[in-house]
Amino acid sequence: MKILVLCESYSSLGDVYRMAWAHTRNKQYFDSGHQVDVLNFNAVKSYIYDSIQVLVEKDAVKNIDKYDIIVSHAPNLRHHLPFLFRFRNKKTAFFFHGHEVLYEVKDYPEPYPYMTKSFGYRVLKNIYDYIKIKSLKFLIHGYKKNSSHLVFVSEWMKRQYEKNLGVSLTKNQYSVIHNPVWNDFINRDFKVAVGPDRRKKIVTLRKLDDSKYSVDLVVRLARSNPSVDFFIYGRGRYFEYHDKPSNVIVKQELIAQAELTDFFNQFDVALLPTRYDAQGVLACEVASFGMPLVTSDIEVAREMLEGFDNVGFIDNEDPESFSLNHFFESIKPSGKKLVKFSPEVTVGEELRVFGEFVTK
């Protein structure tokens, strides 16, 4: 197949982590024998990155007829939809990762008070999201029969799409295919690198100011477990507005993806609470790695982490009720490596779906 992938931005030699999850997919397509070009809407000139041809829009348009399928990741109102409307007779697979079909004001959790936006901002954002979602509905459901296929990262994401667009999808219109995890989490095994005779160490990687990532729940669990050390890595101002328990250590740092497996091996448990997620890729990576994981007992987390025996779930309304001592005693590093999120499995399914779609 000849595949054109639409991305708002993309990896380059100067920024190898930019949309690295998209590049992981594209390399898998390429290594499987398919021609893959990327339209990077933010590129100022075309370039080649790691064997993948990355194009500016005018170069992609010049060769549009050669492609068997267009793949649009997180289609947005600014770039994707106008481009796709011009070529709406081309077979197109739409990938939905979250925000593109969600209302920021209505769907996401209430922000922390210090992050609350003005009334005017919220009104304008609601109007923008309404236009975004209605435009997406007009484009996708105005396609001629068998010209579009929808891919969701979870069943939960598919239900949000149906709710917000006011549609009911039939099985032949969509597929549920999870985002792949970074290869290291499949190829390597979790092993705590420090001795057992010490205080337990729990690690959290989160954006501190985003309430959906629930740093407040980490703090509550830390207060109820003073004999455990909680390390929080991430940037933000949360602790300028809230007290920090003495057993919480905050590092205003981001950890590069390629370093994550070595990084996690310094800790006993990953604590990754969430109030809202389309998949929760980091939690899927930790679980696939075999590291003990504590996350929130919400619908999408249960869907994603079914089958893993190294996961515990906290009640977001009452995190103190979760017994860390019991978890330490009963949950050990998983000896069972589940590969449901491996690139070979997930991207292999994408290529199978593409192949069936383009021959319809």
Domains in the chain and their CATH numbers?
A: 2-180+343-358 (3.40.50.2000), 184-330 (3.40.50.2000)
**Is residue 336 very low, low, confident or very high in pLDDT (cuts 50, 70, 90)?**
low
pLDDT at 334: 56
Q: Is the pTM of this model over 0.85?
A: yes
- Mean pLDDT, the chain, integer: 92
Q: Going by C-beta distance under 8 Å and a sequence separation of 6 or more, which residues neighbour residue 16?
A: none
What is d(CA 228, CA 201) in angstroms, rounded to the nearest whole number?
Answer: 6
The upper half-sphere exposure of residue 148, i.e. CA atoms within 13 Å in the direction of its Cβ, equals 21
Q: Is 95 exposed, middle or buried (0-12, 13-18, 19+ CB in 10 A)?
A: buried
**Chain segment 134-173, per-residue pLDDT in tens:** 999 999 887 666 689 999 999 999 999 999 999 999 999 9
pLDDT at 145: 67
Q: What's the distance, CA 39 to chain centroid? A: 21
Structure tokens at 271: 């604590």
Structure tokens at 316: 């977001």
**Chain segment 185-222, per-residue pLDDT in tens:** 999 999 876 566 678 999 999 999 999 999 999 999 99
pLDDT at 332: 67
Look at residues 68, 81, 78 and name the one whose alpha carbon lies nearest to residue 147: 68
Cα-based torsion angle of the residue sequence 229, 230, 233, 237 in order, rounded to the nearest 10 degrees? -120
**pLDDT of 18 over the 90 cut:** no
